[in-house]
């Protein structure tokens, strides 16, 4: 009887400790080309070096044992939710207008990765080739919690669960409103507000035909729907007024505004 009582007490203490650790842990689901470098730069100083786990590729995290994450208070990387959904903590992410995101990925590929397309695809969790032609509903697949590489899973399934998961996130923001989103996040985390929001990996402004822009929209309908859903949810959860930014995929522009990161 005494042993059973002692066991229950220890189990309760251990459960409380895990709960406290999960509440402290911050998990940044870094969707590529959504301003993550700037966001990481602001969050890093809030943690000790040994408390941070940052990697780019899924293979860095896919084979870890179930308790490897316990020492870390800040985990971030290009990890679709499917690979990290078992890790307890406060999840955050940032979304981006799908059209602008594809254009930014294309420019990044042209500048740095065109001759090394397989490595680029691996880094961004994309099929090889020009993102103008290969990027399809990437944000939705990142947030669905389903295997993003399983062809038997429909995009409708990914979208349904991405919306459901986004509701459970501690916070999500938008690259188009990076300053406001970061101030909201820091306030929720009770961190000192940043004096300046760095802009990293900024792309050049380029001109694209309406035919190209429409093809991107057609291939990313789920991302567009998720983005619109996220804007309404953000308004409901994090502010009372309507979003100030414009969803650029709805505009017929030959030369989109330059907000690429």
pLDDT digits (tens, 9 = 90+) for 67-86: 899 999 999 999 999 999 99
Residue 60 domain flag: yes
Domain annotation covers residue 14: no
Domain count, the chain: 1
pLDDT at 118: 62
Question: pLDDT above 70 covers what percent of the chain?
Answer: 72
- Distance from C-alpha of 101 to C-alpha of 35, rounded to nearest angstrom: 10
At residue 134 the predicted structure's pLDDT band, cuts being 50, 70 and 90, is confident
Write out the two tokens for 97.
């207008």
pLDDT of residue 133: 81
**pLDDT score for 120:** 60
Q: What is the pLDDT of residues 190-246, one digit of tens each?
A: 988 776 666 655 555 678 889 999 999 999 999 999 999 999 999 999 976 444 444
User: Is the pLDDT reported for residue 20 higher than 50?
Assistant: no
Is pLDDT larger for residue 248 or for residue 130?
130
- Higher confidence at residue 25 or residue 65? 25
Given this model, what pLDDT does residue 9 score? 46
Helix, strand, or coil here: 243?
coil
At residue 77, φ and ψ (nearest 5 deg) are 165, 175
Structural domain containing residue 124: 27-250
Residue 116: its pLDDT value, please? Answer: 62
The domain that holds 200 is classified in CATH as: 3.40.50.300
Whether 46 is covered by a domain: the verdict is yes
- Rounded CA-CA distance 162/1 in Å is 47
Residue 143 within a domain: yes
CB 28 within 8 Å of CB 75: yes
The angle at the Cα of 83, spanning 88 to 66, to the nearest 5 degrees, equals 55
Please tell me whether the overall predicted TM-score, pTM, comes out greater than 0.95 for this model. Answer: no
Residue 66 maps to a domain:
yes
- 106 lies in some domain: yes
- Listed in sequence order, the residues at least 6 apart from 78 whose beta carbon sits closer than 8 Å to its beta carbon are 30, 31, 32, 56, 57, 58, 123, 124, 125
Residue 22 belongs to some domain of the structure: no
Mean pLDDT of 18-36: 77
């Amino acid at each position: 009887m005494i042993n059973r009582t002692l066991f229950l007490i220890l189990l309760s203490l251990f459960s409380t400790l895990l709960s406290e650790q999960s509440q402290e842990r911050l998990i940044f689901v870094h969707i590529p080309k959504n301003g993550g470098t700037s966001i990481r730069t602001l969050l890093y100083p809030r943690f000790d070096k040994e408390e941070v786990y940052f990697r780019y590729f899924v293979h860095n995290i896919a084979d870890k044992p179930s308790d490897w994450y316990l020492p870390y208070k800040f985990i971030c990387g290009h990890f679709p939710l499917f690979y990290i959904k078992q890790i307890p903590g406060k999840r955050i992410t940032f979304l981006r207008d799908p059209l602008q995101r594809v254009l930014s990925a294309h420019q990044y590929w042209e500048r740095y990765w065109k001759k090394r397309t397989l490595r680029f695809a691996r880094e961004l969790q994309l099929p090889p080739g020009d993102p103008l032609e290969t990027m399809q509903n990437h944000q939705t697949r990142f947030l669905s919690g389903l295997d993003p590489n399983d062809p038997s899973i429909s995009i409708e399934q990914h979208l349904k669960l991405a919306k459901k998961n986004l509701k459970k996130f501690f916070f999500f923001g938008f690259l188009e409103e990076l300053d406001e989103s970061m101030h909201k996040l820091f306030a929720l985390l009770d961190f000192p507000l940043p004096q300046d929001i760095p802009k990293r990996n900024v792309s050049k402004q380029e001109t694209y035909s309406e035919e190209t822009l429409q093809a991107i929209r057609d291939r990313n309908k789920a991302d567009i729907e998720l983005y619109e859903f996220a804007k309404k949810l953000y308004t409901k959860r994090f502010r009372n007024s309507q979003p100030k930014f414009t969803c650029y995929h709805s505009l017929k522009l030959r030369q989109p505004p330059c907000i690429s990161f």
